[in-house]
Amino acid sequence: MRIAKDTVVTLSYRVSDADGNIVDEGSEPIIYLHGGYGGLFPRLEESLEGKEAGHELCIKLQPEDAFGEYDAELVSIEEASLFPENVQVGMQFERVMDGNQDETMLFSVTDIADGKVVVDGNHPLAGMALVFDCTVADIRAASAEEMEHGHPHTPGHHHH
């Protein structure tokens, strides 16, 4: 079977930065629904189109093909009084954007000092080129339910 629209693909993978430093060892495989459902970076998904189980791929993704460019406007310094007393570096908060309750972004606390909290809405890997090494471990036809839901259903991981 070849990777095509509406197939469920399992990838073993490893991600490193442009200098070869490991970013994600890939301890768990990626299982995604192929065909533009948003489960994988589009450029990576395009590169896997038509491949068979066992195929190995190494692709360098520029920031715009991965987690985007770093946006300094997504970093802000806020008064600590706006946060819970137990706020710590690494905590994450959702923030409503432009007063639109339907549009929220995830912000991470990156620093706390002198009564101020620094929050950053960038993905931790924003602005980085990534090298994605993967092997196609399995391919199967998606079920009608998976196509309707837009993601694969694997035992113990079906959440809505």
Domain 72-120 has CATH 2.40.30.160: no
pLDDT of residue 17: 96
Mean per-residue pLDDT over the chain, rounded: 92
Which residue from 97, 40, 95 is spatially nearest to 66, judged by alpha carbons?
Answer: 40
| CATH class of the structural domain 7-67+126-149 | alpha beta
Residue 157: band (very low, low, confident or very high) from pLDDT cuts 50, 70, 90: low
pLDDT of residue 48: 97
Structure token pair of residue 17: 């930065």
- Residue 151 burial (10 A CB sphere; 0-12, 13-18, 19+): buried
Query: Residues 121, 95: contact at Cβ < 8 Å?
Result: yes
Domain ranges of the chain: 7-67+126-149, 72-120
Mean pLDDT across the stretch 121-133? 95
* Structure confidence by residue, pLDDT tens digits, 20-64: 999 999 999 999 999 999 999 999 999 999 999 999 999 999 999
Same topology between domain 7-67+126-149 and domain 72-120: no
